[in-house]
Copies of this chain bind each other. A is one copy, B any other.
Amino acid sequence: METNLEQTPGYGLDKYSESAKDRIREAFGIPDAKVFFLVGGTQTNSTVIASMLHDYQGVVAVETGHIGVHESGAVEFTGHKVLTLPHHDGKMTAEDLRAYLEAFYADGTYEHMVIPGMVYISFPTEFGTIYSKTELAALHRVCKEYSLPLFVDGARLGYGLMSEANDIDPKELPELCDVFYVGGTKVGALFGEAVVFTGGNAPAHFFTTIKQHGALMAKGRLLGLQFDTLFTDGLYFRIAAHADRIAALLKGIFLEKGYKIYIDSPTNQQFFVMSRQKAKELHGKVRFEDWCPVDEDNIAVRFVTSWATTEENVLALKEII
């Protein structure tokens, strides 16, 4: 609000955006990276993917990848197929990727099929899980062998990097992929995702591509301001670390109460098995989601913590779960 009377150039060329870009470059240790701000996740995924693929190419993702399920076909809408691999707690393995690529190019009819053109993963995944440095490096190695850019959907990036279980330093991430984005919407901002092309590999005319996708914010300073703030004094990472810590607390409480973990997540999303009856009772008292059926009596439920979730909130759960 304090900036609304300032006259700034539009479309992300303002001083707040420039400063935010610098801070992001610094946080990830890549002074030459190109940074762009977009508004939301689906938009960011389809814009980045379309900008990096040729028409005849598709994007490889695990079957639970957000782009393949919950984005209303935004990738296909731009003309590209999502080529799916099996997931392992939401993750893609280097072995699966290599096996797929070897089989693909060994098939005499591959020119009749969609050519894999890039790889998409999310970090953390849709199940809150994260890749170890070894896993990500192995995956990236396969990508490089096949000249496939590796794109990391970081809608929840902070929660992954700040997890106790994580062994990847923010400054190491750029060497483990080719493009990633720093999610704002889900990590402290009102909206906004910062796309980072790690090494001089930003597609030509990416600004025009953003505009063409309807993803250009006229008052771009709103994005710049938020990221500038988030990347001042490590606020972005502190927010995420807080949520992860609270999530661990929450997990402890559920375990203590005898709940079974559905998927073991070290980040701010936690998945437990709960009786349908219990879940019904609990709705209205606390906000969580029915995730999927487990068996006749039980479902998996998802609890998500954020910067705004307090220790008290979570301790209060103890009484009612």
Residues of A at under 8 Å CB distance from B?
Answer: 1, 4-5, 7, 39-47, 50-51, 54-56, 58, 69-74, 76-82, 108-109, 111-115, 185-186, 190-191, 203-205, 207-209, 211-219, 222, 287, 290, 308
Contacts and interface: CB of A to CB of B under 8 A. Distances in A.
Nearest to A103: B293
B114 A76 contact: yes
Interface centre among A70, A73, A82, A218 (most CB of B within 10 A): A73
A214 B43 contact: yes
A40 B217 contact: yes
Copy number of this protein in the oligomer?
4
A214 B79 contact: no
A205 B185 CA distance: 24
Contact of A190 (B4, B70, B214): B4
A71 B112 contact: yes
A115 B208 CA distance: 8
Task: Report the 4 A-B pairs with minimum CB-CB distance, sorted nearest first.
Answer: A43-B214, A73-B114, A72-B212, A72-B211
B114 A287 contact: no
B209 A55 contact: yes
B76 A56 contact: no
A107 B235 CA distance: 36
A216 B42 contact: yes
A113 B42 contact: no
Contacts of A46: 214
